[in-house]
Amino acid sequence: MPKRRKIKTYSSLPGREGSVLDDIIRDDIIKVVARNRYGYLQCGPQELGGATLEEYVHNQQAGSSRVANWVLPFLQKDQRVLEVGCGVGALVSTLNSRGMNVYGLDVPYKAPQWAAIGLDRERFVCGDGSSLPFKDNSFDVVISFGVIEHIGTVDGIWRLRDDYKELRQSYASEIMRVTRGGGKIIIGCPNKSCPIDPAHYQPPENRIRDFIFRKTGLNLHRTWGDWYLLSHREVRQFFSGTHNFRSLPLKGYFAFSKFQKWPVLRPLKSAIQGWVEDMPQWAANSFLSPYVMVEMTNGNKDVPSLPR
């Protein structure tokens, strides 16, 4: 397992006061980390980034109740939960409104969106998913949906950096580090083994694939070699310190909104939705599933659940 990269912290950030987050922020940075100008604890430098896309914000907020309904059966109210890559924070807020104990982390440029909608400054942290600012064994459950495929990319979407495997391993290793032994990790991302990616914009490099994307909103892609998406096998390799690796059912997770937006897809909605939501376990682990959604148990030694 590679060494954890040292987090850069800045004592010059203004306005740090005592916080309930002090109990879970790593001891080596707690004395120098501070709040950014939006009031959120910032662990690391301000990163460059554009404004969060309006459609992305809308989709997260509109889908938060649906995804919360999907994930709740895998959580317990006495558990401390972290979402790595929480986006605009809609899922974290929804779960907390239902009595859960959930924290969110995302890159610093998400802070303006958090502040604009008034998200709890004791529940959200700006930081790096490949170098988490939390103490070892801080969470009972860590969830991360639609994040790992963006780790190690040049533009945040599909062009890979030369060190993308190392960065993804750091992301996985950090999640395992902050999850208690015996705790659960749930990872979701589009399936590289399936030639259809329903979640991302089509890179405009191939005329045929670009035409299909413009007509259907579906991204057709190769399933071999270095690619920004991951297969079940690749996710399992990155999280090799876990056991009880299993695919979770997708029923209720997706809204299937593309089938309403694109007329050519509407006649297929019932059949595709029925297959995705009720596919057998053997198919969920294969190229026949468009999404990798897996749960795993961290480490080989159970540790009692953490106090709230």
Please write the tens of the pLDDT for every residue from 239-278: 999 999 999 999 999 988 888 888 888 899 999 999 999 9
| Average pLDDT for 283-301 | 92
**Residue numbers of the domain that contains 211:** 129-298
In a domain, 15, yes or no: no
In a domain, 235, yes or no: yes
User: Which pairs count as long-range contacts for 195-204, CB under 8 Å and 24+ apart, including other chains?
Assistant: 195/220, 195/221, 195/222, 195/223, 195/287, 196/220, 196/221, 196/290, 197/221, 197/229, 197/290, 198/258, 198/290, 199/146, 200/149, 200/157, 200/158, 201/157, 203/157, 203/158
201/112 Cα distance (integer angstroms):
24
Q: Give the tens place of pLDDT for each residue, 182-211.
A: 999 999 999 999 999 988 876 667 788 888
pTM, whole model, 2 decimals? Answer: 0.88
CATH number of residue 162's parent domain = 3.40.50
In a domain, 241, yes or no: yes
33/25 Cα distance (integer angstroms):
9
Runs of H (alpha helix) within 155-308:
164-178, 207-216, 232-238, 258-261, 269-278, 281-284
| Average pLDDT for 10-29 | 64
13/193 Cα distance (integer angstroms):
44
83/147 Cα distance (integer angstroms):
10
For the cut 70, the answer to whether the pLDDT of residue 14 exceeds it is: no
In a domain, 92, yes or no: no
Between residues 205 and 112, the one the model is more confident about = 112
76 DSSP 8-state letter: -
Q: Per residue in 109-129, is it b (16+ CB within 10 Å) or e — as a string?
A: ebbebbbeeebebebbbbbbb
Between residues 284 and 27, the one the model is more confident about = 284
List the 101-106 sheet strands across, edge first.
34-35, 41-42, 124-126, 101-106, 80-84, 139-145, 179-190, 291-298, 242-247
In a domain, 60, yes or no: no
Domain count, the chain: 1
N-term to C-term CA, the chain: 30
Q: Give the tens place of pLDDT for each residue, 47-81.
A: 545 555 565 566 666 678 999 999 999 999 999 99
In a domain, 233, yes or no: yes
In a domain, 239, yes or no: yes
In a domain, 24, yes or no: no
